[in-house]
Structures are given as structure tokens and as C-alpha cells.
Chains A and B, each alone.
Chain A
């Protein structure tokens, strides 16, 4: 049973516009959420995270929003750049050595 879901397998955005990647989770015990980015032929790399006690965390062009009541988080990239084209994985931690990943969303930023 997939506890972390990314329902959009792909997303295309024009360069300079905002990219919004969504993630839903089912386990209310998750207390930390992370986004990883993956380029072809490379492993996932950490991008940004958020604790369950916050509702927003910002790092440059990347902002993660958490809505605990809806069990939903999103990653906003603004402005989007062609180099942002990658697969983005949402992940959630239950605080007990387990990190659950979604299936990923392939972002394509069109120049």
C-alpha cells in the first residue's frame, strides 16, 4: 500500500513560470517530509525538507508547503529553469528509521 502518493507522473512548464508538484500521504504519524530530485543515470539528491510543525519552508527558488489537515504537501519552483527538468520524489518519515517515497513526478521545463 503506497503511503506517499504523487498522482501526476509528469508535468510540463514554460521556463520562467511556476512549477507546482503535489504529494499526498495517508499516515498521520509522518513527522518529516522531504523532496528529492533525480537526474537520469544519477541517484536522487536531497532538495528541501519540512517538519510537521511548520507549514512552509523556503530555500531560494524552492518552497515546500505542508497542509497537515489535508495530508498534502507541495513543492513550488519559481521561476522554473530548464535545469530543473528532472524527476522529483516526495518522501515522508515516520520517525522510526523509515523513509517512504512516492512514485515521482517528471518535470519538464520548456525553454
Chain B
């Protein structure tokens, strides 16, 4: 157990629907990162929050949004779902604000597998 908890583990939904993925970071970690892994693709960075504030943005679609709450858990909202949104969504956490201080190692959760039919 990495200490990063993601729910749900699996989710099947239809095109056009909206889903919310939840992440609880490791105790003491202030940063939360969201990554998407599609079939045969690497982990694509979506967005990072630090202590409730958006800190960095990657290739996140406008249909997707995220937030980090005062208790530091984070939610990733995916709306108007398309078939191509089917993927593994990973949440990771870290203590530091970012990677500029060297090995800011990310601790990953087990992922949420989203299937859009």
C-alpha cells in the first residue's frame, strides 16, 4: 500500500456522461498530481495542485477539471465523456511543491480504470 488512495478502482460509463475520480494523498503530502495512461501510451501529466491551489497544468482537456480540498484530497472531474477518454487515471502525491529541488519523488496510487462505452 503506497498510502495514496484512489476511488473507484473501476468505472464503466457511457459517452456523454460525467464522472468524478477521487484521490487521497499520502499523509503529510501537500501536492497532488493527476496522470492519464491510455493504451500503449506513457503517463500523460494532466494537472498538479499544491495545498489547495493549482500549481501546474499539462495536457488537460477543457472537459476535465480538478480541485484539491482543504483536507488535501483531490477530485478529477471528467465530463462529456468520449470513447477516447477510456484510460487509467493515476493520482500521485509528494511533499514538495515541485520537482525543481531535485528528486521530488512521486508516490502513486493504484489508479482508476475508466471505460467509456
Interface residues, chain A, with chain B CB atoms under 8 Å away: 2, 4, 6, 9, 32, 34, 36, 41-46, 49, 51, 89, 91, 93-104
Partner of B45, one of A89, A95, A98: A98
User: Chain A nearest CB: distance from B43 CB in Å?
Assistant: 4
Contact B42 A103 (CB under 8 A): yes
Total CB contacts across the A-B interface at under 8 A: 73
Question: Mostly helix, strand, loop or mixed at chain B's interface?
Answer: loop
Contact A2 B45 (CB under 8 A): no
Q: When chains A and B are docked, how far (Å) is the Cα of A93 from the Cα of B108? A: 16
Given contacts A4-B42, A100-B45, A102-B42, contact A32 B106 (CB under 8 A): no
B25 at the interface (CB under 8 A from A): no
B-side interface size class? 20 to 34
Interface residues, chain B, with chain A CB atoms under 8 Å away: 2, 4, 33, 35, 40-45, 48, 55-56, 58, 90, 92, 97-100, 102-111
Residues of A within 8 A of B90 (CB): 43-44
User: Chain A nearest CB: distance from B92 CB in Å?
Assistant: 7
Given contacts A44-B90, A89-B42, A103-B41, contact A32 B102 (CB under 8 A): yes
User: Chain B nearest CB: distance from A67 CB in Å?
Assistant: 20
User: Chain B nearest CB: distance from A28 CB in Å?
Assistant: 17
Residues of A within 8 A of B108 (CB): 36, 43-45
